[in-house]
Amino acid sequence: MTDVVGLVLAAGEGRRYGMPKALVRHDGRLFVESTVDRLRAAGCTRIVVVAGAAVDEVREADLKDAEVVENPDWPSGMGSSLRRGIEALQGETAVAVMTVDLPGVTTEAIRRVLHHATPDVLAAATYAGKRGHPVLIGRQHWAGVHELAQGDQGARAYLRRHDVVEIACEDVADGQDVDRPEDLP
């Protein structure tokens, strides 16, 4: 596999959840820890976690060799975290973007998406025909994604303007995000 960095967006305060979702404990692990573990197990050669509201607690989590990058602009939305994460990238082939609140996205689903990594790729997992995470962005698209990432939309504006390879993953994962405690599987 080519060099793919895993990018975990974990900066929000989790208003609807009642706490930062990075710190939600599920199946004995924090969301941020299990997301890092799944990206690593899927084959990401480097992992960057963008933290904000709970940056100190995220730094104390068991993330092994994952890098924690602080986003001081986290209140402005996920777009600022995606931009901050892209700024931390180096010479990798592509980045696999995951939000921290997806406990049902399995290592197999991530691996399936990573299989498509090239410098010019735009790909996303789909669940019952709906795009989800991970989103794979080849390095040739990083500048464009960085430019358009605003508010809580992340890469959506950029992805709408380009062809995206959709990779069905509903047979191996659940792409539902967890917004409230009652959403936990």
Higher pLDDT, 91 or 101: 101
Round to whole Å and give the CA distance between 173 and 102: 10
Looking at the domain covering 4-175, what would its CATH class be? Answer: alpha beta
Whether the predicted pLDDT of 150 surpasses 80 = yes
Rounded Cα gap, residues 45 and 67, in angstroms = 12
Assigned token pair, 6: 């895993």
Q: Regarding beta strands 46-51 and 67-70, do their DSSP bridges make them parallel or antiparallel, or are they unpaired?
A: parallel
The pLDDT value given to residue 47: 98
pLDDT at 185: 79
> Residue 85 — φ and ψ, nearest 5°?
-65, -45
Range with lowest mean pLDDT among 89-98, 99-108, 132-141, 145-154 = 145-154
Reported as half-sphere exposure (CB side, CA atoms, 13 A), residue 130 has a value of: 7
Enter the tokens of residue 64.
Answer: 């092994």
* Residue in this structure with the two tokens 């963008």, named with its chain if needed: 50
Which residue(s) pair with 126 in the sheet? Answer: 131, 168
Look at the block and give the residue holding tokens 């994952």. Answer: 66
Predicted model pTM: 0.96
- The reported pLDDT for the residue numbered 12 is 96
Q: CA–CA separation, 50 vs 22, rounded Å? A: 10
Structure confidence by residue, pLDDT tens digits, 60-87: 999 999 999 999 999 999 999 999 999 9
Q: What is the pLDDT of residue 1?
A: 54
Q: Stretch 42-55: mean pLDDT, rounded? A: 97
Domain boundaries, the chain: 4-175
Is the pLDDT reported for residue 38 higher than 80? Answer: yes
Max alpha carbon distance in the chain (Å)? 40
pLDDT in tens, 110-120: 999 999 999 99
Instruction: Output the average pLDDT for the chain.
Output: 96
Counting runs of H as helices and runs of E as strands, what totals does the chain give?
A: 6, 9
Token digits of residue 39 = 């990206």
